[in-house]
Amino acid sequence: MRKNRFTKINNYGFIGNLQTTALVSQQGDIDFMCFPNFDSPSVFATILDEDKGGCFSIEPLIEDLKYTQFYITDTATLITRFSSEKGVGEICDTMIVDEKDHKFKLLRKITTNHGNISYRVKCKPRFDNAQARHTVEQHKNEITFTTDDDNFLCLNSCKELYISRDDAYSEFKLDEKESCYFILTDFHLSEEQINNMPSFGEKYHNESQAYWKEWISKTTYKGRWVETVLRSAITLKLLTSHKEGSIIAAPTFGLPEKIGGERNWDYRYTWIRDAAFAMYAFMKLGFKEEASAFFKWVEKYCFKEKMDLVYTYDGKTPPDESTLDHFNGYKNSKPVRLGNDAKNQKQLDIYGELIDAVYVYNLHDGTIKKSFWKNIKQYVEYVCEHWKDKDRGIWEIRGDKKEFLHSRLTCWIALDRGIKLAENNDLEFPKEKWEEIRSKIKDSLYTDFWSEEKEAFVQHSETDEIDASVMLMPILHFIDKHDEKWKKTLKAVERELKYDVLIYRYRAAETDTDGLEGEEGTFTMCSFWYIECLALMDRLDEAAENFARILGYGNSLRLFSEQISKSGEQVGNFPQALTHLAMINACLELNKKMNRKAEN
């Protein structure tokens, strides 16, 4: 019967259509969805407020149910299976990717596999982050929800629908091996479609299956943990805009990094850093079209004197940060934030990360046009002028600006990859100037960020605190894995930031650098960086064991949020692109090293 409404972040699945996404609870309810685009207001947001948020629930009316979730292999189609002694059934959820007309199509197929089961379906949209009223109209078996500004959604089913308090309901029984369909769209179905709902629903289902299987067939990866790697690849693809080629950091807003804390951000935007890292992962897996589309997006929106840190998926400036005070927040974690004030920050690392992605793209046979190089060259020149500047760093601190090691490191990357791009493609550049500045940045990293007391490279030039981003020094090929300073630094990371097999990005509760109150969970991306570092240093048994144990912190679908708390619970926005791309990179490095060991 009625299920517990509170659902842990761990217990969600994830579907999407490359325009927007939805979270589906382990009990088969859609508890979060923005419409029509990634960064649009929510229409379902029970995860943020059980009473006000809105949801699309499917409830089997039998007692003592057990639930499991899984994806159909090589697709984004999610199955929620429920079972008891009285019956077994499943909900099949998918969004259809419509690259031609960009129409919204959400398909929910319910099947009774065993027994005879009664169901109750509720569709309770709450438009504009539960701030807009809507009207409801019914024509035959179609119910249309319309807002005052004429946004609308249509619910169709082969089962009878009825309206109560401006929401849609359906109650029915499915005999053994019987199925029915509920389809939510942003357009009215034709009479023919309405009258042939089962065959029409099955057509949508088959279209979705075919799209994802064709896409995943393009991968070149055949190594270990292939199902885990490809699930992360599909997750990254679901965060990618098919219209624009950009990729968002996460599909949610307001999910807390600590239950009851203030670190509740809106990540539904395109960070240059995150996107550049994602393109690296896509290219390593053989998905070159995604990288090409992203660099076209960069060329369209980002090429100006100074690149912005973060954009909307369609190249605009994100909105100013605000709060939804009428939402109680996930497990009463407030404030629930919209927008992101990081857009106003200076973060020098984005130039090096973008240029590194361009460099890898070129190594994978991507063409660098002279017009494109002109803008990349301009970015390198910007770094030449500003590499000594203080900034907010990779972690987007809200405290005072600092000279961060990671920012200085990626300035070196900008020069190093810029030089290599120019030399590999016979492109014009000021060779002597760039090489001289690259050398100066390298000297600065070794002298200004080394602590004799800690015997480690440190977070910024005014501290002895350790920061997990230091692990990018060997990953980005700045420092040799056999360098004694690096070996000592990794020991410091293990000593000060490691918790079980998980890694904190820094000790937030012990430093005021980030300007925020309270602590946070371990940062899962950093945990995968640690695996990659172990693999680089040929500590393969440790790396493999740690990798297996970290996967155990993911949910049953191999999905990860931004962070993991001390209690092992996933916290922060979910699923997180940075986490999944770091997992892919760690897995590829570990697989490569294990293959070499086996060959020898």
Give the CA count within 13 Å in the CB-facing half-sphere of 263: 22
* Ramachandran quadrant class, 86 (left: phi over 0; alpha: psi -120 to 50; beta: rest): alpha
Q: Which amino acid is at 281?
A: A
110 token code pair: 């319910």
Instruction: Look up residue 518 and give its two tokens.
Output: 């309270």
pLDDT score, position 2: 46
What integer pLDDT is reported at residue 463 of this predicted model? 94
Task: Render 342-358 in DSSP notation, one character per residue.
Answer: GGG---THHHHHHHHHH
d(CA 470, CA 492): 10
Give the model's pLDDT for residue 22. Answer: 98
The crossing angle, in degrees rounded to 10, of helices 349-363 and 370-386 is 150
* pLDDT tens by residue, the chain, 600 residues: 444 567 999 999 999 999 999 999 999 999 999 999 999 999 999 999 999 999 999 999 999 999 999 999 999 999 999 999 999 999 999 999 999 999 999 999 999 999 999 999 999 999 999 999 999 999 988 999 999 988 999 999 999 999 999 999 999 999 999 999 999 999 999 999 988 999 999 999 999 999 999 999 999 999 999 999 999 999 999 999 999 999 999 999 999 999 988 889 999 999 999 999 999 999 999 999 999 999 999 999 999 877 999 999 999 999 999 999 999 999 999 999 999 999 999 999 999 999 999 999 999 988 899 999 999 999 999 999 999 999 999 999 888 999 999 999 999 999 999 999 999 999 999 999 999 999 999 999 999 999 999 999 999 999 999 999 999 999 999 999 999 999 999 999 999 999 999 999 998 656 666 667 667 889 999 999 999 999 999 999 999 999 999 999 999 999 999 999 989 999 999 999 999 999 999 999 999 999 999 998
Say how far apart CA 447 and CA 408 lie, in whole Å: 12
pTM recorded for the entire structure: 0.96
How far apart CA 575 and CA 530 sit, in angstroms, is 20
List of residues 6+ apart from 379 with CB closer than 8 A: 307, 351, 354, 355, 414, 418
- Residue 135 β-bridge partners: 146
From the CB of residue 481, how many other CB atoms can be counted at a distance below 10 Å?
16
Helix axes 405-424, 349-363, angle to 10 degrees: 30
450, containing H or E segment: strand 450-451
- Residue 569's nearest CA partner among 558, 577, 578, 560 is 560
Sign of the CA dihedral with 579 first, then 582, 586, and 587 last: positive
Identity of residue 197: M
CA angle 110, 115, 117 (to 5 degrees): 50
CA 528 – CA 524 distance, rounded (Å) = 7
Which residues are registered as beta bridge partners of 87?
84
Q: With contact defined as beta carbons under 8 Å apart, do 20 and 83 qualify?
A: no
| Paired strand residues for 247 | 240
What per-residue confidence (pLDDT) applies to 1?
44
Strands 134-139 and 498-499, how do they pair?
unpaired
- Residue 130 has a pLDDT of 97
- Residue 549 to residues 128, 527, 528, 539, 576, Cα–Cα distance (Å): 40, 11, 11, 16, 19
- Is 201 in a helix, a strand, or coil? helix
Peptide bond into 575 cis (omega under 30): yes
Q: How far apart are CA 282 and CA 215, in angstroms?
A: 12
The answer to whether 491 and 236 are in contact (CB under 8 A) is no
Q: Where are the beta strands (DSSP E) in 332-380?
A: 337-338
